[in-house]
Amino acid sequence: MRPLARSGMTWLSVLLVLTAFFGIRWVTAAGVFTSVSKISPNICQPIARLQGPEDFEVDAAHDAIIVSSTNRRAPKDAPDPRDGLYVLKLSDPGAAPVKLTDGVPKDFHPHGISLYRAPNGDETLMVINHHRAGAHSVEIFGLSYENGAARLVPHSSIAGGLLVSPNDLFAVGPDRFYVTNDHVTKPGSFGRFAEDYLIWPHADLLYFNGTNFRISVQRMAFPNGVYVSPDGAHLYVALTNERRILAFSREPYFGSLKEIGSLSIPSRLDNISADAQGRLIVAGHPSLLADNGFRADPAKPSPSQVFRVSLDKDGIPTGYETIFADEGRLIGASSVAAMAGQRLLTGSVLDDKILECRPN
């Protein structure tokens, strides 16, 4: 064989190996071969009809659930005017949702939200806002209640060059928060292709210290949900494309992080909350192809899963159990879940409902 032909065969072999490697990696991340066995030991029913209730916060002290609702099937240049924040009554979830309009920007299409409660009881609500023109910001509101009705007072709007594609955030003070960038490259670029299809771990977690942003963690593949433990000592990030939870120890004063462990879970993980025992509650939607099909056709729902993650004494995740799984008939593409007493509440990035499951 001539040297030129030998060289061509070598490069072809390398190309085939790389194609197979990245192909298998993408298929695994997309959950092409992931199956979902139904797990629903409780009585489940929809409690709110809202477009894309992707995230919510349970405010038990005020008998409320604050919901972030955005219709992700609407064209980007013509967003749904129903997008916004809604309040449900925790003790009467069947009541009609109430939209919060006072103090909210006109161009408001919320994503992740986080509720901070100060030691004196004052509450601050932080919301990721995707603007119609493509910019992003974190809107910070004071949250209060008058005769049981929630009221927002705008405090500030935070933006910056590092806020590229914010997905979820967690407030650790009235003006401090962590926020995930699920991508850090522009749509349509080769970098975005590499992040999505080559599972390039290039995205990051930001920390806003009250004055400016800084990068806390880099080289992650689609960081999504973020959660900080009540004592402020640990932080957890759900990596959607890597299908795992990353755990960090946290220095509360400066907010610096140190990785201490991780746990693989067979799903495209999304938002994180915790139950009364401190165990993490993580929602997931296992199949990217099913998600895309559901986005195109609401009659083809995507599977949903909710996991409970155990932590050891050092805050390291040690194992998980599936506490809810559904092929999409009860709720499709679950993105957030939380325990309210014995009730499991689940929201979705694409469905038009929140699902409540009660013990038999």
Residue by residue, pLDDT tens for the chain (360 residues) are 666 666 666 666 656 665 655 555 555 555 555 666 677 767 899 998 999 999 999 999 999 999 999 999 999 888 999 999 999 999 998 889 999 999 999 999 999 999 999 999 999 999 999 999 999 999 999 999 998 899 999 999 999 999 999 999 999 999 999 999 999 999 889 999 899 888 889 999 999 999 999 999 999 999 999 999 999 999 999 999 999 999 999 999 899 999 999 999 999 999 999 999 999 999 999 988 999 999 999 999 899 999 999 999 999 999 999 999 999 999 999 999 999 999 999 999 999 999 999 876
List the Cα angle 77/333/83 in 5-degree steps: 35
DSSP, res 103: T
Residue 138 to residue 126: CA distance in whole angstroms: 7
- Give yes or no for a contact between 284 and 334, defined as CB atoms under 8 angstroms apart: yes
Helices 288-296 & 3-30 angle (0-180, nearest 10)? 70
Number of neighbouring beta carbons within 10 Å of residue 132: 13
Burial of 270 (0-12, 13-18, 19+ CB in 10 A): buried
**H or E, element range at 12:** helix 3-30
Per-residue model confidence (pLDDT) at position 185: 95
As given in the structure block, the two tokens for residue 222 are 């689609």
Per-residue model confidence (pLDDT) at position 48: 87
Per-residue model confidence (pLDDT) at position 94: 81
Per-residue model confidence (pLDDT) at position 232: 96
Per-residue model confidence (pLDDT) at position 24: 59
Radius of gyration of the chain from Cα atoms? 21
Domain ranges for the chain: 49-268
Q: Phi-psi region for residue 190, left (φ > 0), alpha (ψ -120 to 50) or beta?
A: alpha
47-99: per-residue pLDDT in tens?
989 999 999 999 999 999 999 999 999 998 889 999 999 999 999 988 899 99
Per-residue model confidence (pLDDT) at position 360: 63
**H or E, element range at 21:** helix 3-30
From first CA to last CA, the distance across the chain in angstroms is 73
Per-residue model confidence (pLDDT) at position 42: 76
For 49-268, which CATH class? mainly beta
**Dihedral sign, CA of 104, 110, 115, 118?**
negative
- Give yes or no for a contact between 325 and 331, defined as CB atoms under 8 angstroms apart: no
144-150, Cβ contacts within 8 angstroms, sequence gap of 24 or more:
145/62, 145/64, 148/62, 148/63, 149/98, 150/62, 150/64, 150/66, 150/87, 150/98, 150/100
